[in-house]
């Protein structure tokens, strides 16, 4: 019943196969029946591992954790409209990527793999490097040479081997794919175990709303690691009978790199290549997201849609959040710019949740340049 399944050829594998894609080259997803023993969950420590029966790691002794998760869900007033914000910039490495890294690196430990490779525009690399340090697993992290210096320093401090690749984010992805021919790829976009960690944000939101689903969730989308996790998480809760409705998913992309918003608007099932421009939202500047079709399906199924935000809107949101006492990295401000647009379209009262995805300390130089 439980297992890995290829989305291209439907072939199934055991959860204990040390593979990150199908032999046909297709993406793998995880079939796993999540359970929610609510009385027991509520007595556990406030970390993402309190949803133990919903996370496909077999043995507790393989869990690699900094007691992460259960981040505060706070209310922010946007000109009289209230929005609930999950403070996922408060994780140990400064972004929500710790959710995915904790579960994925626990699985790597369980598989007995002692060396992984990963590529990232920064934050996923930081998270994988930190959890590998804790797990005593060697890792090689590939990043574009233009990545924010704070993120580069962080990756090196965790003891990872850092490879700075000249050129675009896509050049970095090509470099790591070569390394992944002979190494386990702890990829936040390919590896399905990463999404089994990001899904826990849905469980936490649900518990923090007294086991109810919100009406709407507004999320950033580059490779969709948060959005697809949220989609899996709420469907787990729905299938287990914990909630009776599913939230609408609103996906935010930067105008300077919005391949999925474009394909969605044209109702394409194919994603055309786009010319991307350099955006403040470096963390979601993904020109060719490998799970793009899945992302569009999740948004469509939820009756949601895409919103794009301009550089000016990102900058304005960044400043506004700073003036309220929240120091964010510019990528995180893109989502908040999307929240503001959504509130303009939407008149009805509803429960809206969004997220602070990354801490401002990640992007000191970029923010200095803006000031």
Which residues are at the interface with ligand PLP (CB under 6 A)?
95, 97, 123, 220-226, 283-284, 286, 329, 331-332, 357-358
Judged by beta carbon, residue 97 or residue 258, the one nearer ligand PLP is 97
Q: If contact means CB under 5 to 8 A according to the sort of partner, which of ligand PLP, Zn ion, none does residue 284 touch? A: ligand PLP
- Which tokens sit at 37? 């023993």
Residue placing its CB nearer to ligand PLP in the complex, 98 or 207: 98
> Exposed, middle or buried: residue 187 (CB in 10 Å: 0-12, 13-18, 19+)?
buried
Nearest to 355 by CA among 247, 261, 262, 256: 247
Q: Is 26 near Zn ion (CB under 5 A)?
A: yes
Q: Which residue has the tokens 């509130």?
A: 343
Total residues contacting Zn ion by CB under 5 A comes to 7
The position carrying tokens 């300390």 is 361
Q: Which of 2, 9, 16, 45 binds Zn ion (CB under 5 A)?
A: 9
Q: How far is the CB of 347 from ligand PLP (least distance, A)?
A: 28
Min CB(26)–Zn ion separation in Å: 4
Cα–Cα distance for residue pair 162/126, rounded to 1 Å: 10
- Shortest approach of ligand PLP to residue 121 CB, angstroms? 7
The single residue among 6, 130, 243, 280 that binds Zn ion, judged by CB under 5 A, is: 6
- Please report whether residue 232 would count as binding Zn ion according to CB under 5 A: no
d(CA 123, CA 100): 11
Q: Least distance to ligand PLP from the beta carbon of 241, Å?
A: 29
Q: Which does 358 bind (CB under 5 to 8 A by kind): ligand PLP, Zn ion, none?
A: ligand PLP
Interacting partner of 26 out of Zn ion, ligand PLP, none (Cβ under 5 to 8 A depending on kind): Zn ion
Stretch that binds Zn ion, among 9-17, 176-184, 266-274, 281-289 (CB under 5 A): 9-17
Which residues, including other chains, have CB under 8 Å from residue 74's CB and lie 6 or more apart? Answer: 84, 85, 87
Q: Which part of the chain contacts Zn ion (CB under 5 A), choosing from 5-13, 115-123, 207-215, 337-345?
A: 5-13
Q: What are the two backbone dihedrals, phi and then psi, of residue 287, each rounded to the nearest 5 degrees?
A: -75, -35
CA distances, 278 to each of 275, 284, 287, 310, 365 (Å): 10, 11, 11, 12, 16
d(CA 29, CA 163): 28
| 24 belongs to the binding site for Zn ion (CB under 5 A) | yes
Ramachandran region of residue 167, left (φ > 0), alpha (ψ -120 to 50) or beta?
A: left
Least gap, CB of 72 to Zn ion (angstroms): 41
Minimum CB distance to Zn ion smaller for 8 or for 42 = 8
Which pair of tokens denotes residue 187?
């990829």
User: Residue numbers of the site for Zn ion (CB under 5 A)?
Assistant: 6, 8-9, 11, 22, 24, 26
């Amino acid at each position: 019943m439980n297992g890995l399944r290829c989305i291209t050829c439907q072939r199934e594998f055991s959860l204990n196969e040390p593979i990150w894609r199908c032999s046909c080259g297709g993406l793998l997803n995880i079939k796993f029946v999540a359970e929610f023993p609510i009385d027991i969950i509520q007595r556990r420590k406030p970390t993402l591992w309190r949803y133990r029966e919903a996370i496909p790691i077999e043995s507790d002794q393989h869990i690699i954790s900094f007691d992460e998760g259960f981040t505060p869900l706070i209310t922010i007033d946007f000109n009289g409209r209230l929005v609930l914000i999950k403070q996922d910039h408060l994780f140990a490495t400064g972004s929500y990527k710790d959710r995915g890294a904790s579960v994925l690196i626990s699985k790597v430990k369980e598989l007995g793999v002692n060396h992984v490779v990963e590529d990232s525009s920064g934050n996923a690399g930081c998270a994988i490097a930190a959890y590998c340090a804790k797990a005593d697993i060697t890792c090689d992290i590939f990043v574009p040479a233009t990545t924010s210096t704070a993120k580069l320093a962080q990756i090196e401090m965790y003891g990872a081997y850092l490879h700075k690749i000249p050129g675009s984010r896509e050049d970095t992805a090509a470099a790591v794919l070569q390394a992944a021919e002979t190494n386990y790829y702890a990829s936040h976009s390919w590896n399905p175990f990463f999404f089994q960690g990001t899904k826990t944000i849905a469980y936490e939101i649900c518990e923090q709303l007294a086991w109810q689903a919100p009406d709407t969730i507004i999320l950033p989308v580059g490779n969709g690691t948060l959005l697809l996790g949220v989609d899996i998480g709420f469907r787990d809760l729905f299938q287990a009978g914990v909630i009776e409705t599913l939230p609408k998913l609103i996906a935010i992309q930067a105008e300077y790199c919005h391949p999925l918003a474009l394909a969605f608007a044209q109702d394409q099932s194919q994603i055309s290549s786009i010319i991307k421009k350099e955006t403040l939202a470096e963390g979601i500047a993904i020109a060719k997201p490998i799970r793009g079709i899945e992302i569009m399906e999740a948004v469509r199924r939820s009756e949601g849609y895409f919103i794009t935000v301009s550089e000016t809107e990102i900058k304005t949101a960044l400043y506004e959040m700073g003036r309220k006492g929240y120091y964010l990295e510019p990528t995180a401000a893109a989502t908040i710019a999307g929240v503001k647009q959504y509130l303009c379209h939407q008149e009805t009262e509803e429960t809206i949740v969004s997220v602070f995805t990354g801490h401002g300390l990640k992007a000191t130089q970029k923010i200095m340049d803006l000031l």
